[in-house]
Amino acid sequence: MALFYPDASQVTRLLLILRKAYQGVHSNQIGFPGGKVEDVDSDLMETALRETHEEVGVPPSAVEVIKELSEVYIPPSNFMVRPFMGIYHEPRPFVIEESEVERLVEVYLHDFLDDSNHIEEVLSTSYAKNIHVPAYKLNGYTVWGATAMMLSEIKELLQKAL
């Protein structure tokens, strides 16, 4: 869930999370709240809302889902991801799931839209060495991979709407 919300000063922010370090391909990476489908989920939007609630404490009823985004395949984990954009109109303090989320990364919308924060990085991962990847530099973090692909679609949609 790409979640937009007003902060205490009524400035629009986008919520990202830093995942915990663990034995896995997405350890210690920046991403959106989200996760796997469970039997209780009636559809992928319900999965996104449930996972957002579990990971950062946002009740599903408080999110206005405004757009379903393009599916993104993530080869290292062999997952097809269906992201959504939502607005959290009246945010309450986030409550992180400490077993999954290391910290919140609350990005100002104007920083996200600033073209100077869209970069190219050379990264090495558990599955590739010295690869050139498009990325975003947001709040001091390099956001790349599937999350950067989703951010690019979101940025394009927002720029068309502005």
Confidence class of residue 5 from pLDDT cuts 50, 70 and 90? Answer: very high
Task: Return the residue matching tokens 């379903």.
Answer: 68
Predicted local distance difference test score (pLDDT) of residue 49: 98
pLDDT one-digit tens code per residue, 62-73: 999 999 999 998
Amino acid present at 153: E
Q: What percent of the chain has pLDDT over 70?
A: 93
Structure tokens at 147: 């999350």
Looking at residue 21, what is its pLDDT?
66
Among 97, 101, 141, which Cα is nearest to 119's?
A: 141
Helix (H, G, I), strand (E, B) or coil at 31: strand
Q: Is 12 helix (H, G, I), strand (E, B) or coil?
A: strand
Residue 111 has pLDDT above 60, yes or no: yes
The CATH number linked to 13 is 3.90.79.10
Spatial separation of the C-alpha atoms in residues 36 and 84, rounded to whole Å: 14
- Check residue 22 and give its pLDDT: 55
Domain tally, the chain: 1
- How sure is the predictor about 26, in pLDDT bands with cuts at 50, 70 and 90? very low
Q: Can you point out the beta strands (E) in the chain? A: 2-6, 12-19, 30-31, 63-68, 72-74, 79-81, 84-88, 101-108, 118-123, 131-138, 141-143
Q: Average pLDDT for residues 78-102, to the nearest whole number?
A: 95
Does the pLDDT value for residue 77 go beyond 80? Answer: no
Q: Which domain holds residue 79?
A: 2-161
